[in-house]
């Protein structure tokens, strides 16, 4: 039903309005390797620079994606699709599946995501021929260290049965503290997957639509904050390596928990503009207390011709009191039921 309404709507062309990345790009080669799907031979392209001499990354970009972070096991060491396979994969993801399908549960029972324009098929998507965002023959997050396995198991055991006891038991994004994909590293969100870059004197500002967090990244070579200051989004320092912006982030809190990480999480991001419409974004994460080795992912950021809109998450978070009062109503019903049983 959703499929029918989608194909009959005007949205379909926008789903195809996408950027195509070819394989050589993924190896960090010449930007001319990037071509629009229907465009003729790629035109020579020169990297735009700002008056201060640095490459121009300014604008609104999306990292909306239909490429999974981890490679499906059946693909083995296959790092790239052929153009034909990629076209088929993207068509299937955008036309045959909804966001709920991609999320793996909840199906169509919640509000209809496509009706609200939230489904990724309704927005510009940064397509890639990669079979997974994680690069390399493995294409998967490396195994957890034994220490990390124990830590996560303990945490899960402690939480079990108490998921709705209070706000403290709810995920950080449900509490509107930080969104899971905000990072760093910045990963695609299910919707509103947009960010804006502004470059000032010695600073690069990156504003992510969800949830209106601006990263202010100094590029003046200053040292990191002292280790006593820990932040949800860490402490970022940038520098230029040729035309690539490299951002090094440390000083995370132990509660940031990027896929189970600890406060020794270290993230290095690399931004390289490869065409008018595309920035290639690559990140490497390392946390010896969590993974057996560092791992790296690569995804395109594609230019969007629209402003960022305010996403005031906490201010409109009726979901939190509703969720907790729903849980308290369930507690009460269960207590009454138990009392009736006792009375019998």
Chain residues 151-190 in contact with another protein, contact rule CB under 8 A: 162-168, 170-171, 173-178, 180-181, 189-190
Mapped onto helix, strand or coil, the DSSP state of residue 231 is strand
The CA distance from 320 to 318, in Å, is 5
319 makes contact with another protein (CB under 8 A) = yes
Where does this chain touch another protein (CB under 8 A) — which range of 71-79, 240-248, 271-279, 322-330? 322-330
Q: How far is the CB of 66 from another protein (least distance, A)?
A: 13
Instruction: Work out whether 85 is an interface residue with another protein (CB under 8 A).
Output: no
Type and span of the H or E element at 248 = strand 244-250
Q: Which residues share a beta bridge with 19?
A: 126
Q: Spell out the residues 6+ positions from residue 175 whose beta carbon is closer than 8 angstroms to its own.
A: 167, 317, 320
Segment 245-304, which members bind another protein (CB under 8 A)? none
**Span of 81-89, 264-272, 285-293, 325-333 interacting with another protein by CB under 8 A:** 325-333
Which of 28, 48, 83, 202 touches another protein (CB under 8 A)? 202
Instruction: Tell me which of 36, 77, 153, 312 binds another protein, using CB under 8 A.
Output: 312
Cβ neighbours of residue 252 under 8 Å, at least 6 residues apart? 230, 231, 232, 233, 234, 258, 261, 263, 265
Q: What is the total count of residues that contact another protein (CB under 8 A)?
A: 99
Cis, peptide link before residue 247, omega less than 30° from 0: no
CB atoms within 10 A of CB 127: 24
Nearer to another protein, 41 or 318 (CB): 318
Residue 252, CB half-sphere, CA atoms under 13 Å: how many? 24
Binding another protein (rule: CB under 8 A), the pick from 242, 310, 339, 340 is 310
x/- track of binding to another protein for residues 98-137 (CB under 8 A) = --x--xxxxxxxxxxxxxxxx---xx--------------
With beta carbons less than 8 A apart as the criterion, state whether 64 and 117 touch: no
Q: Which stretch binds another protein (CB under 8 A): 85-93, 143-151, 213-221, 295-303?
A: 213-221
Specify the stretch interacting with another protein by CB under 8 A; choose among 44-52, 139-147, 274-282, 336-344. 44-52
Lookup: tokens for 296:
């790296």
Place of tokens 């629209």: 306
């Amino acid at each position: 039903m959703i499929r029918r309404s989608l194909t009959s709507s005007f949205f379909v062309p926008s789903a195809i309005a996408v950027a195509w990345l070819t394989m050589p790009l993924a190896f960090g080669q010449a930007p001319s390797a990037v071509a629009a799907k229907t465009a003729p031979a790629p035109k020579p392209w020169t990297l735009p620079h700002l008056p201060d001499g640095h490459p121009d990354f300014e604008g609104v970009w999306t990292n909306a994606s239909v490429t999974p972070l981890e490679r499906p096991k059946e693909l083995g060491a296959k790092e790239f699709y052929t153009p034909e396979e990629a076209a088929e994969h993207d068509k299937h993801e955008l036309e045959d599946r909804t966001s709920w399908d991609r999320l793996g549960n909840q199906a169509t029972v919640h509000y209809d995501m496509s009706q609200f324009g939230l489904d990724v098929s309704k927005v510009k998507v940064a397509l890639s021929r990669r079979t997974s965002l994680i690069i390399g023959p493995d294409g998967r997050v490396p195994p957890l260290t034994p220490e990390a396995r124990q830590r996560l198991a303990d945490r899960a055991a402690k939480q079990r049965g108490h998921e709705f006891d209070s706000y403290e038991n709810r995920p950080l994004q449900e509490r509107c503290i930080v969104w899971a994909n905000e990072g760093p590293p910045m990963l695609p969100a299910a919707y509103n997957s947009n960010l804006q870059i502004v470059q000032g004197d010695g600073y690069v500002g990156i504003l992510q639509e969800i949830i209106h967090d601006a990263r202010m990244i100094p590029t003046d070579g200053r040292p990191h904050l002292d280790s006593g200051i820990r932040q949800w989004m860490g402490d970022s320092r940038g520098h230029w390596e040729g035309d690539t912006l490299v951002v090094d982030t440390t000083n995370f809190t132990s509660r940031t928990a990027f896929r189970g990480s600890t406060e020794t999480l270290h993230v290095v991001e690399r931004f390289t503009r490869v065409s008018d419409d595309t920035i290639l974004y690559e990140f490497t994460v390392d946390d010896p207390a969590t993974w057996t080795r560092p791992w790296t992912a690569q995804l395109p950021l594609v230019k969007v011709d629209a402003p960022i809109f305010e996403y005031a998450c906490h201010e409109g978070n009726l979901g939190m009191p509703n969720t907790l009062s729903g849980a308290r109503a369930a507690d009460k019903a269960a207590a009454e039921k138990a009392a009736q049983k006792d009375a019998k």
